[in-house]
Structure 1
Amino acid sequence: MIGIFLVTHGTLGESLIQNVCHVLNKRPPLIAQLGVAAQDDPLDILPLARLLLQEVDGGEGVLVMTDVFGATPGNLALKLLAPGRVEGVSGVSLPMLLRALTYRERGMETMVQKAISGARDGVVRLPPALGSGAGEG
């Protein structure tokens, strides 16, 4: 099973994991998060990030998920990558995380592609409520 490690701003990763637990009615194995605060020095928290990464590596690799490419958590995530063993995606969302969890037994490349498509497919325009009067006024 491929591990999942979220590296995000503040408590976003923790909130995503809590919501996954709610949706799945259980906490998935081999998942962890590291919230990066504004005052954190990335070089100071890199050893903790590496430790957490090791904790979720069950032997089949780890997918690192981060929120914003180019921001501090994303830059920290880049330092953890090892092609074929530790892969990364940015733009983490609940649909992306749920899709990654669904496909984590099918290999890293499939998991990465399904996670990305889960995020992309999770963005939809909501149809107007028919006859509800919502938004009127």
Structure 2
Amino acid sequence: MIGILVLTHEDLGDHMIRCASHVVGMKPPQLLHLSVFPQDDPDAVLTRAREMIKQLDSGDGVLVLSDMCGATPCNIASRLTQPGKVECIAGVNLPMLVRVLTYRNEPLPVVIEKGLSGGQCGVMHIGTEPCHAN
């Protein structure tokens, strides 16, 4: 199973995990968040993130989901990357998180592709008719 670390500004990751747990009906295993606050030393956060990666990796790899490309959480995530073992996606949203949780028993490249497609397809203009989940 692919481990998932949600690395975000402040408590966004914690809230996203709670929402995703609601959607999937349980708190998924091997899923953690790491918050980055303005006063945090990025090197200290990186050290904590590396510890969490070890905790999450059961041998199938870890996917790090970060909120905004170019911001501190994403810059920290980029320093965690180990191709094929620890991969990162920026721009996490709830559809992306639910999608990677759904497909996390697949190989890491498949989980990345599903996460990207879920994140992109989850952003749409809606009208007056109700939306239906895909």
TM-score (norm 1): 0.91
Counterpart AA for 1:90: A
SS class of match (1:22): helix
Q: Give aligned pairs, total.
A: 130
Counterpart AA for 2:105: E
Match of residue 2 from structure 1: 2
Q: How far did 1:45 drift? A: 1.8
Match of residue 66 from structure 1: 66
Deviations 1:72-102 (A, max 9, x none): 0000001111000001100000000000111
Counterpart AA for 1:119: G
Question: Which segment drifts farther, 107-116 or 43-52?
Answer: 43-52
Match of residue 33 from structure 1: 33
Q: How far did 1:128 drift? A: 2.4
Counterpart AA for 2:106: R
Deviations 1:17-36 (A, max 9, x none): 10111111211010001000
Match of residue 79 from structure 2: 79
Which structure 2 residue ranges, 5 or more long, are not aligned? none
Which structure 1 residue ranges, 5 or more long, are not aligned? 131-137
Distance in 2 between residues matched to 1:76 and 1:91, nearest whole Å: 14
Alpha-carbon RMSD: 1.2
- What's the % identity of the aligned pairs? 43
Which aligned runs of 4 or more in structure 1 are off by greater than 3 angstroms? none
Counterpart AA for 1:26: M
- Taking the TM superposition and a 5 Å limit, the aligned residue runs for 1:1-137 are 1-128=1-128
SS class of match (1:79): helix
